[in-house]
Amino acid sequence: MTTQVTAHATRDEDGTWTITIPELTSAAPSGATIIATGSALTFRGVKKAASDLASVWLDIEPSELEVTVTVEAPSAIVRLVAESNDANAAGKAAIEHADALRREAARKLREDGYPMEAAGAILGVSYQRVQQLAGPSTRLVKKSA
């Protein structure tokens, strides 16, 4: 059976890393809670150091552990990343909406009797793309006068 733990890595001012594993605790003689804490000189060493820390704390072999590392960042950076993710999601939604509008325009042009070449000129795409946008079920329908 594999034991799973999550380690948190925080970059220190001197460039080294402090590692904590909040789920691994013990009580100090004073009653305070001691959280498993270690360090690594480089970020590349964080996962191994966290694995070694948990292994010693739990008295199990490192091969019996699965360690997930989360990297703590300054709150200003976390806000920038969240804003970036929100903007990315909004951009994807806008693109999906634009694509739906373009497909609808292609379908309506074809239903109104526009040749694919003319629909392509209106939409700014090739006539082959009009066919893709309009879909296979859209047929040229002649309007009666």
* Per-domain boundaries in the chain: 3-72, 76-134
Token pair belonging to 104: 């609808």
The pLDDT of residue 127 is 86
Residue 123 has pLDDT above 80, yes or no: yes
pLDDT band at 24 (very low <50, low <70, confident <90, very high): very high
> Do the Cβ atoms of 116 and 110 come closer than 8 Å?
yes
- Taking every pair of Cα atoms in the chain, the longest distance, rounded to a whole number of angstroms, is 95
Mean pLDDT of all residues in the chain?
Answer: 92
Residue 139 has pLDDT above 70, yes or no: no
Alpha carbon distance 136, 103 (integer Å): 12
Place of tokens 């703590």: 72
C-alpha 109 chain-centroid distance: 38
Among 117, 144, 145, smallest CA distance to 134 is for 117
Alpha carbon distance 86, 117 (integer Å): 38
CATH of domain 3-72: 3.30.160
Write the Ramachandran bin of 124: left for phi over 0, alpha for psi from -120 to 50, otherwise beta: left
User: pTM of this prediction?
Assistant: 0.64
